Structure 1
Amino acid sequence: MPPSPQGDERTSRPPLLEIVIPAYNEEGRLPGGLLQLCAKLARMPFPSSVIVVDNDSTDRTAEIVETWPRGPVPVRLIRCATPGKGAAVRAGLLGTSAPFVGFLDADMATDLGAIDVALGLLLSGERVVIGSRGHDGSLVENRHSKVRELGAFGFRGLAGLLVHGVSDTQCGFKFFDGVLARDIAAQLRTPGFAFDVELLARCLRQGSEVTEIPVRWRDMPGSRFSPARHTFGIVLELGRIWLRLRARPRPAARPAWEPPLDPVGYP
């Protein structure tokens, strides 16, 4: 079916909002997530687009994006061979050009109604708006095991030492002023699970406050996180972030990435 005249008009204008979805072997969840997101964005009164970052998947993730039907919300593919969700988000943010940008998880665990709130705050002058499952107004359906909940509690304690005043660094719903997001993304060096901590810490370091908003969040099946397998690597990532933030900038160029111990990070 050919695109509607309204779709032609929307896609002919530069997007006001671009949303990045990092994806590793998401052929099962990505089609449903894209349908939800595109339907939501198509109802909003401004042009927008979606970028899916294929993080070196071995399934049909890239093919799904490449064959996605044309519509009022363009969907395009970026490939990222460096393993890790942090690497994928970095590549996606650096591939944007819109005034406002954000990223979401492919499972769409956060209710998309929060996009309206986030964009309204950005339009009013906020520069960093994130979903928080720790907000008093949030509704959270959590099926995690007790072991995983204990691990999450420990992670929040360590992350709080680097990102003061933020109750939930890991919710996969974050929106930014586009210029700030691209500037911070260029500085990111954490490829794995803890990249959100470095991203938010650098935003705070540059004087941008982080505004947390309540969300409706559902624990979706398919998580690749294992407390036994990934805890040590995550603690090490947090230690590296702490050292990077303490270090003074050096004139010599540093490598863009360090090899991740285990490229975890996808829900």
Structure 2
Amino acid sequence: MQTSGHPRVEIVVPVRNEEYDLGPNIRRLRAFLDSAFPFPAEVCIADNGSTDATWEIGALLVTELPGVRIVRIEEPGRGRALKQVWSSSEAEVLAYMDVDLSTNLNALLPLVAPLLAGHSDVAIGSRLARGSRVVRRPKREAISRGYNLLLRATLGTRFSDAQCGFKAIRRDVAVELLPLVEDTSWFFDTELLVLAERAGLRIHEVPVDWVDDLDSRVAIAKTVVEDLRGIARLSKNLGRGRIPLESVRQAFGRPPIADPRTALAARVLRFAGVGVVSTLAYILLYLALRHAMPAQVANVLALLITAIGNTALNRRVTFGVRGVENRTKHQLRGLVTFGIGWALTASALWLLHTAVAVPAHSVEIVVLTAANLAATIVRFSLFQAWVFDDEAPTFPTLEPPAVLDSTRSN
């Protein structure tokens, strides 16, 4: 459906040096909107710092296709482009998608409909939600899963997929949130979602069909470093109360949210208490078993027994999970953390026995205790992000300012 007056939905397509994909994919997107999308929608090509023929091709598309406009942002940065276009748009719902159209366009209506209805505030496409179908290289899949688990562990996030290039936000929400987002590059998505979640806003997730773009030019190593810096900066600013999210909650009538630092501190204290009990039990079991068997065998048995008890105690005491539902699943996930603890302590024992032929049992205890403490941070992060998180996503099976506006018409 072509636009008449202000569109209800504006879809921003950020591009930088995309002269080959831009033409065919914008035509495809515009054809879908005109034939299969029930709301007036406009497409905005946001050219951020292209040095090839992207701008010229986009300008030709504007003259060819009603309902398409192009904006030029001189500096590169996807976040910068989205922030500038969204901040000046008059559409009710602001969306964006990657120019490669990796996400099936049939997910667009489920993405924006809850926002137009006022049911949700932000909507995201998720490649990691139940019902999604994804074709992606194993390396990209592992990085994506690891990144979202890291967000759950460090920032306590609940959304499943931070970086899928398929998102939407209501304009009134964007007006409040965009000034608070600092990043202008790839971390922009994550920062926006974290702030929305911390402000008590409703994030709607849509499972998507998604096919990896084999010609993707994203510099993975550089992006990972930038994302880690973004996580550290955002964690620090949230922890010190530097981001005025209370005004956002008040603007949309959301109830105050308990200070996450207080909740996390209480959970860490409970986890530490369980850890002290588990460590004492491990030491006693190890000493009892060590008299009858080699050090590595005594270590693995003592770890296994205490891991089962540790998971059960943390389930009830630290994370407040009651009842038998999901108990087996929690124990199986807990055994994964046991595997990490075993790997660390086994490596520590191996190094000790390599350096000292027959070390005293007291030295073994000191080394193993240090190794267990090293594993504690990883264990707590996994407990919080995955083991007891029954809303964690079920992952799908892996299968092989110059502006030109078009003339709007009814």
State the TM bucket, normalised to the shorter chain.
0.7 to 0.9
CA distance in 1, matches of 2:7, 2:64: 14
Q: Please say if residues 140 and 217 of structure 1, whose CA atoms lie closer than 8 Å, have aligned partners that are also in contact.
A: yes
- State which of 189, 196, 204 in structure 1 corresponds to 2:189: 196
Mean Cα deviation higher: 227-236 or 165-174: 227-236
Say if 1:140 and 1:245 are closer, same or farther in 2 by CA, change over 3 A. Answer: same
Return the offset for 1:98: 0.7
Counterpart in the other structure of 2:126: 132
Counterpart in the other structure of 2:113: 120
Return the offset for 1:119: 2.4
- State which of 150, 157, 165 in structure 2 corresponds to 1:158: 150
Q: Please say if residues 62 and 69 of structure 2, whose CA atoms lie closer than 8 Å, have aligned partners that are also in contact.
A: no
Paired-residue identity, % = 34
**SS of the residue 1:115 aligns to:** helix
Q: Please say if residues 49 and 75 of structure 2, whose CA atoms lie closer than 8 Å, have aligned partners that are also in contact.
A: yes
Say if 1:230 and 1:71 are closer, same or farther in 2 by CA, change over 3 A. Answer: closer
Counterpart in the other structure of 2:215: 222
Residue 235 of structure 2 is aligned to residue 242 of structure 1: yes
What letter corresponds to residue 20 of structure 1 in structure 2?
A: V
CA distance in 2, matches of 1:68, 1:162: 42
Q: Which string of whole-angstrom CA distances, capped at 9 and with x for unpartnered residues, describes residues 73-115 of structure 1?
A: 4211222233221112212211311111111011110001011
Return the offset for 1:121: 1.7
What letter corresponds to residue 47 of structure 2 in structure 1?
A: D
Q: Which string of whole-angstrom CA distances, capped at 9 and with x for unpartnered residues, describes residues 191-231 of structure 1?
A: 22211110001111222121111111000122223444443
Q: How does 1:1-267 map to 2 (within 5 A)?
A: 10-43=2-35, 44-70=37-63, 73-124=66-117, 125-145=119-139, 148-160=140-152, 161-162=154-155, 164-249=157-242
CA distance in 1, matches of 2:28, 2:237: 38
**SS of the residue 2:195 aligns to:** helix
What letter corresponds to residue 132 of structure 2 in structure 1?
A: S
CA distance in 2, matches of 1:76, 1:23: 13
What letter corresponds to residue 76 of structure 2 in structure 1?
A: P
Q: Which string of whole-angstrom CA distances, capped at 9 and with x for unpartnered residues, describes residues 170-211 of structure 1?
A: 111111212112332222211222111100011112221211
Return the offset for 1:25: 0.6
Mean Cα deviation higher: 78-87 or 35-44: 78-87
Q: Please say if residues 53 and 78 of structure 1, whose CA atoms lie closer than 8 Å, have aligned partners that are also in contact.
A: yes
TM-score, normalised to structure 2's length? 0.55
CA distance in 1, matches of 2:64, 2:42: 10
CA distance in 2, matches of 1:144, 1:89: 29
CA distance in 2, matches of 1:60, 1:144: 33
Unaligned runs of 5+ in 2: 245-410
More helix by share: 2
More strand by share: 1
Q: Please say if residues 62 and 70 of structure 2, whose CA atoms lie closer than 8 Å, have aligned partners that are also in contact.
A: no
Say if 1:67 and 1:156 are closer, same or farther in 2 by CA, change over 3 A. Answer: same
What letter corresponds to residue 239 of structure 1 in structure 2?
A: A
Two-structure CA RMSD over aligned residues (Å): 2.2
Q: Please say if residues 41 and 73 of structure 1, whose CA atoms lie closer than 8 Å, have aligned partners that are also in contact.
A: no
CA distance in 2, matches of 1:70, 1:113: 26
Runs of 4 or more off by more than 4 Å in structure 1? Answer: 69-73
Say if 1:179 and 1:231 are closer, same or farther in 2 by CA, change over 3 A. Answer: same
Return the offset for 1:41: 1.2
CA distance in 1, matches of 2:38, 2:65: 11
Q: Please say if residues 99 and 177 of structure 1, whose CA atoms lie closer than 8 Å, have aligned partners that are also in contact.
A: yes
Return the offset for 1:69: 4.6
Q: Please say if residues 132 and 138 of structure 1, whose CA atoms lie closer than 8 Å, have aligned partners that are also in contact.
A: yes
Say if 1:245 and 1:97 are closer, same or farther in 2 by CA, change over 3 A. Answer: farther
What letter corresponds to residue 210 of structure 1 in structure 2?
A: I
Q: Greater Rg, structure 1 or structure 2? A: 2
Unaligned runs of 5+ in 1: 1-6, 252-267
TM-score, normalised to structure 1's length? 0.82
Counterpart in the other structure of 2:392: none
